[in-house]
Chain A
Amino acid sequence: MRYSGFRLIREGFRGNTGWTRAWRDPSPRPDYDAIIIGGGGHGLSTAYYLARNHGITNVAVLEKGYLGGGNVGRNTTIVRANYFLPGNSEFYSHSLKLWEGLERELNYNVMHSQRGHMILFHSDGQRDAAARRGNAMAAQGDDAILYDREGVRAMLPFLDYEQARFPIHGGLFHPRGGTARHDAVAWGYARGADRRGVDLIQNCEVTGIDIENGVVRGVQTTRGPIRARKVGIVVAGRSSQVAAMAGMRLPIESHVLQAFVTEGLKPVIDHVISFGMGHFYISQSDKGGLVFGGDLDFYASYAQRGNLPMVEHVMEAGMTLMPMIGRARVLRSWGGIMDMSPDGSPIIDRTHVEGLFLNCGWNYGGFKAVPASGWCMAHLMATGQPHEVAARYRLDRFATGRGLMDEEGTGAQHSLH
């Protein structure tokens, strides 16, 4: 069923009785051209672009839970292209361009809202770094504006400009940055892939990967064995477990990142605001809730929930930046399993097994990457060659030390990001 304004009005008059399922619920077939393990944002977009860009439609996405139940439905929804290093710049730039056409492409309202993204700086040194980053963004063809303190004040009058600890010196503004409705992105890609013939199979956990003489043959699942000529591992926080099924040990640690949402409020925060010194970022959802998050809890975790010390830290950071939110009541908090790579950048690459491909290492920034990651993963799986904007996301960069992309400049080691 195609969605449109006309359809919406008609269904309104018919008591919404005419809507059909957004995708089928097929049983697994014994054999596919390609299997994608993981029905998160990246797995679904990979399946969609395999069908759309490469005409490979005999594809199954195998999801152990329900579609979008992982990180893709748990993030703070920030979409931006303000990366600095070659390798990341062109990739996230490509992703943002795909975001800009995504609703038309998918015939699905993902509520992409380019409300602008502001990163604050608090010292001369940080101003220089922000100017440099802004120039890198402009050189990549994206947009960046450096604002001084008064410029930021005109836009964000509610920040605390008097505090002495981290005085606001200005901000780097990225007008095309913003947010999107996270679940809708998963659902939009799911529906798009299904309509092109992809089987989306839920409650189907992959428990083994079948390999013969160095070539992938298929997978073992809780719903039986399934053969395939190509298999993509796209499981974010569970990458280490699934890769171990193919005898691989990955440069990944899984950590917990928490997020929070308040009760719905009238519109107060028009942009996305990042307060790096407090590891705090915030935006307001279209329903009115203030959506915000902070840093990792900094211990390995698969619990999908964090602990109170980080909750306290995030609240403190929020109050430091914008005391006006102090009386908003927090409704919920939750956590996701982050696939942390040593240099903070992702991996989209072949493996030592022919026909087996790996997509992981998204750290806390993989939501904005959903379109380009699927685009490039599909390209890699279909052609065997890396896509040009993801050519640097190689697995062997850690072994060789060549091409590390440490965006934060803290060192390409675990526990430093």
Chain B
Amino acid sequence: MRVTCPYCGERDRREFTIQGDDTSLRRPGRDAGAEAWHAHVHLRDNPAGRLREMWYHDPCGAWIVVERDTVTHAVHGSVPAREAAR
């Protein structure tokens, strides 16, 4: 797998640390209640297909959101996490 960092260009997968799907961009409000927090921390769509994930590019220190197919490992683009969070 090669992944394009929006800042640095296409790089080897070993330059990245992967956190998992992009739920961390949708953090519930402080008083959202236990059910919402449980869903946030534990429950996942876990699709067999396209998934948006949080990747960290170690050399430049950027968090990016990568869209990747979990069945083929094909990467379909990436954006800075800051933009994806808007």
Instruction: List A residues at the B interface (Cβ < 8 Å).
Output: 238, 240-241, 249-254, 298-303, 307, 309, 342, 398-399, 413-415
Q: Are B53 and A251 in contact (CB under 8 A)?
A: no
Q: Are B46 and A254 in contact (CB under 8 A)?
A: yes
Contact of B44 among A238, A252, A298, A299 (CB under 8 A): A252
Chain A's closest residue to B21 (CB) is: A300
How many interface residues does B have (CB within 8 Å)?
Answer: 26
Chain B's closest residue to A399 (CB) is: B38
> How far, in whole Å, are A253 and B41 apart by their CA atoms in the complex?
12
Q: Are B13 and A250 in contact (CB under 8 A)?
A: no
Interface readout for B55-78 with A: 1 if CB under 8 Å, 0 if not?
000000000000010111100000
Chain B's closest residue to A239 (CB) is: B46
Q: Are A249 and B70 in contact (CB under 8 A)?
A: no
Which residues on the A side are within 8 Å of B32 (C-beta)? none
Given A254-B70, A414-B20, A414-B44, 4 other A-B residues pairs in contact with their CB atoms under 8 A: A399-B38, A399-B42, A413-B42, A415-B19
Given A309-B13, A399-B35, A414-B20, A300 and B46 touching (CB < 8 A)?
yes
Contact of A249 among B13, B19, B41, B43 (CB under 8 A): B43
Report 9 cross-chain contacts, Cβ distance below 8 Å, ordered by A residue: A250-B46, A251-B43, A251-B44, A299-B1, A299-B18, A300-B46, A301-B70, A398-B42, A413-B41
Contact of B34 among A249, A251, A342, A399 (CB under 8 A): A399
Q: Are B13 and A307 in contact (CB under 8 A)?
A: yes
Q: Are B42 and A251 in contact (CB under 8 A)?
A: yes
B71 to chain A, nearest CB (A): 5
Which residues on the A side are within 8 Å of B44 (C-beta)? 240, 249-253, 414
> How far, in whole Å, are A301 and B48 apart by their CA atoms in the complex?
8
Chain A's closest residue to B39 (CB) is: A249
| Residue of A298, A299, A399, A414 ringed by the most chain B CB atoms within 10 A | A299
Chain A's closest residue to B1 (CB) is: A307
